[in-house]
Amino acid sequence: MKKRYFLILFFTGVSVCKSQINIDSVQTLKEVSITTYKTMNGIGHMKDNDGQIIYAGKKNEVLVIDSLDANKAINNTRQIIGRIPGLNIAETETGGFTANGIAFRGLNPVQSIEVNTRQNGYNISADSYGYNESYYLPPMEAVKDMTFVRGAASLAFGPQVGGMVNYQLKDGGPKPLEITTSQTIGTNGLFNSFISAGGTYKKVQYYGFLQFREFAGWRVNSQSQQYSGFASVKYEVTKKLKIGLEYTCLRNTVHMPGGLTDSLFKQNPQQSTRARNWLQSPWNILAATLNYKINDKTSFSLKSAFNYSERDLVWKNEDGGPEEKDTITPSLTYTPREVEHEYFRSITNEFRFLSNYTIKERKQTLAFGVRYSYSFLERQHGGNGTTGSDLDYTVTQLPWALHLWGGDMKFNNTNIAPFIENTFKIGDRISVTPGLRYEFLKSVANGYDENVANDSNSPYVYANNERRTRSFLLPGVGLQIKAFKNTNIYANYSQSYRPITYDQLTPFGTLAKIDPNLKDASADNVDMGYRGNISTILNFDAGLFYINYKNRVGLVNRQNDSTSYPLITNTGNSENKGIETYIELNILNGLLPTSKFGKLSIYNSYAYINARYYSGPYAGNWVEYAPKNIERVGLNYKLKNFSINIQYSKTSMSFSDAANTVYAADALVGIIPSYQLVDVSSTYKVNQKYQFKLGINNLMNEKYFTMRTTEYPGPGIIPSIGRMIYAGISATF
């Protein structure tokens, strides 16, 4: 029986808080939690400003993770953040990618490439511009809350069209030492062990966790193993100055089962035509923080994050498509595999300043800042690997090849981006927040790559300090009207920008060819809505959105003589418009004030998305990865120490390419069918220390998929996981 390792992270500390008081006057008071957001049942909205960031007039949500019943052992995205309306998920974590991808409003969810992904306020993706994919996400057991900001994030966080998501990790808390441990087992060989420790000692606050997860996999050849860890120390130098240091790491090994054709998927979605595909993505992030409070009205912060990470891949490559099985040759050996490496090095510095001041005795808020980042990527692919089946990155040079690698490119990006916003209060109810962000971006490329265009006699194309410099100004404005005590009307406009990424410039791990005339994409984002809560009875947010997306980059099929091939190119301009609504009603202990029978609430998260091309060769077609309807209906019930959540999810069909291909024999493009899922999670608290968890994901064992791909971890259809049962116990000391 395979050994399992239980990992323990132990921080020791003693907290002594002394003050000169009269012992006879001591009273025990109820615990008070001060937060910067308003929530009901774990979901709510940010206040007008928090720290050095303005949220007034912006579409935003907050999720308090500990308040949710969900499968956090495998970061079940659908359950944990499914309440956010319009959330579309690429469920690929168990198929070869190291994390599920997300998107909103009909944008591309694969590896969250349209979203600015952050942890504790700093970037955790490989490169915010050149390669903004997320191979690391923190374990949900360590996350305190998540903040979502839609398209308006372009001013304060960056120009990504899909906005920003921030994973805020837990901190040490006021106790000298608190240890939490959680052990989870489940079907398909799931074992997850998590332990954290934190506390406060005098002026020092600390927190850390270690996680070990092992998963045999729902499909054949899909086992995975990962270790993740985090350590944070914060020091209060003075009442005004706080500094901190954080380190995050991930070590994993993923066996990739590859993709399937439509016929293979219908026959048996758990099968695999690949047994020799492996992936590792060691991730390291070191961050330093500084917060200084000048006075009660003014403060500034500085965050610096250094990412030292990579992605390593050895596989039976995509040639022949998913229907070509990896069989033994007449010489009684497998064909040599292909070896790929990517090395990421980036540093990002963000300075933020916020000050509250008055004009005619009315409070106004000014926020400004600047980001400087430098990133480097070395991408090696097409290496001739071994004929073995285990994890082996050995590369040998082919006799006829000029180089060891099929391509070895080095890219670097330099980005400087100042921004400024100001909230002007007009009367007691209305505020207007205009702003500007300026982006300067310089990209440099060196190295060589395969000449897939076959436009010369050389098998390679070379780059020698090829430079591209761009600068652009992004305006934005937000409006907020306080309608009643706890409700407000919001509206926002902002411009977004998406420069061409590295994977759109080089044919790395893909069957697709690259259009040499690719252009950067940009977008206009507009949204408006009405949100708030009515006492403890009703929580709601209903709004409209519109995205004018120009020079979209997508995938199309092209014909070359008698064969077809996918091409990455600008597919035209599109409009994404629709409705986003979230409504949650407390029935028991809310609408019905009695709590005798416990607390019962129901919620509905719904989005209607109409995303079509309006110009270019695909005018009138549906935008790829943009389902028309996404709906999740849930029920929460709590009685004393027992709580349960039942959630129904339905996502309508979508296309995987701009040509709206219905079917292709190689399964690289085609329809992504609609699917319906039911998830159930429950918790029983013995006391304040112990909790038992039990749940079922995909209760009806729906066979479905959310992604087709021309590259790893495919090519072809990447099936999502079937029914999964899990159980766990956690304890806090």
In a domain, 17, yes or no: no
pLDDT at 504: 60
Residue 454 confidence (pLDDT) above 90: no
Mean pLDDT of all residues in 45-52: 91
Side-chain half-sphere CA neighbours of 265 within 13 A: 27
pLDDT at 134: 76
Domain that holds residue 609: 34-732
Give kind and range of the element (H or E) at residue 690: strand 690-697
How many whole angstroms separate alpha carbon 532 and alpha carbon 243?
35
Strand 513-514 and strand 563-588: the pairing is parallel
Q: What is the 3-class SS of 151-164, one letter each residue?
A: HHHHCCCCCCCCCE
In a domain, 21, yes or no: no
Q: What is the 3-class SS of 229-294, one letter each residue?
A: EEEEEEEECCCCEEEEEEEEEEEEEEEECCCECHHHHHHCCCCCCCCCEEEECCEEEEEEEEEEEC
CB 723 within 8 Å of CB 71: no
How many whole angstroms separate alpha carbon 570 and alpha carbon 551?
5
pLDDT, averaged across the chain: 88
Name the residue with higher pLDDT: 341 or 501. Answer: 341
In a domain, 174, yes or no: yes
CA 398 and chain centroid, separation: 39
pLDDT at 35: 54
Mean pLDDT of all residues in 308-331: 84
pLDDT (tens digit per residue) in 651-706? 999 999 989 999 998 898 999 999 999 999 999 999 889 999 999 999 999 999 99
Residue 719 confidence (pLDDT) above 90: yes
Give the range with max mean pLDDT: 79-88, 463-472, 492-501: 79-88
Q: Tell me the pLDDT band of 29, cut-offs 50, 70 and 90.
A: very low
Mean pLDDT of all residues in 582-587: 95
Q: Tell me the pLDDT band of 713, cut-offs 50, 70 and 90.
A: confident
Least confident stretch, 18-22, 251-255, 573-577, 586-590: 18-22
The torsion angles phi and psi of 672, rounded to 5 degrees, stand at: -105, 105
pLDDT at 450: 81
Least confident stretch, 16-25, 270-279, 324-333, 647-656: 16-25
Residue 514 confidence (pLDDT) above 90: no
CB 227 within 8 Å of CB 41: no
Closest C-alpha among 397, 415, 405 to residue 447: 405
Q: Tell me the pLDDT band of 92, cut-offs 50, 70 and 90.
A: confident
pLDDT at 572: 87
pLDDT at 562: 61
pLDDT at 18: 33
pLDDT at 712: 80
Name the residue with higher pLDDT: 418 or 155. Answer: 418
pLDDT at 32: 43
In a domain, 6, yes or no: no
pTM comes to: 0.91
pLDDT (tens digit per residue) in 1-18? 444 333 333 333 333 333
Beta-bridged to residue 555, according to DSSP, are 568
Least confident stretch, 1-15, 46-60, 335-349, 551-565: 1-15
How many whole angstroms separate alpha carbon 376 and alpha carbon 373?
10
Q: What is the DSSP secondary structure assignment for residue 501, as one 8-state letter?
A: P
Mean pLDDT of all residues in 52-58: 94
In a domain, 543, yes or no: yes
pLDDT at 456: 60
CB 603 within 8 Å of CB 83: yes
In a domain, 19, yes or no: no
Give kind and range of the element (H or E) at residue 476: strand 460-484
pLDDT (tens digit per residue) in 349-374? 999 999 999 998 899 999 999 999 99
DSSP 293-337: E-SSSEEEEEEEEEEEEEEEEEE--STT-TTS--PPPTTSSPPPP
Number of domains in the chain: 1
Closest C-alpha among 256, 251, 300 to residue 274: 256
Which residue type does 214 have? E
In a domain, 547, yes or no: yes
In a domain, 597, yes or no: yes
**Sign of the CA dihedral running 457, 461, 463, 467:** positive
What token pair was written down for 378? 């070395």
CATH number at residue 207: 2.40.170.20
pLDDT at 647: 97
pLDDT at 282: 95
Name the residue with higher pLDDT: 144 or 7. Answer: 144
Q: Tell me the pLDDT band of 227, cut-offs 50, 70 and 90.
A: very high
How many whole angstroms separate alpha carbon 167 and alpha carbon 246?
14
Mean pLDDT of all residues in 482-509: 80
Tokens 């940009």 locate to: 522
How many whole angstroms separate alpha carbon 417 and alpha carbon 432?
23
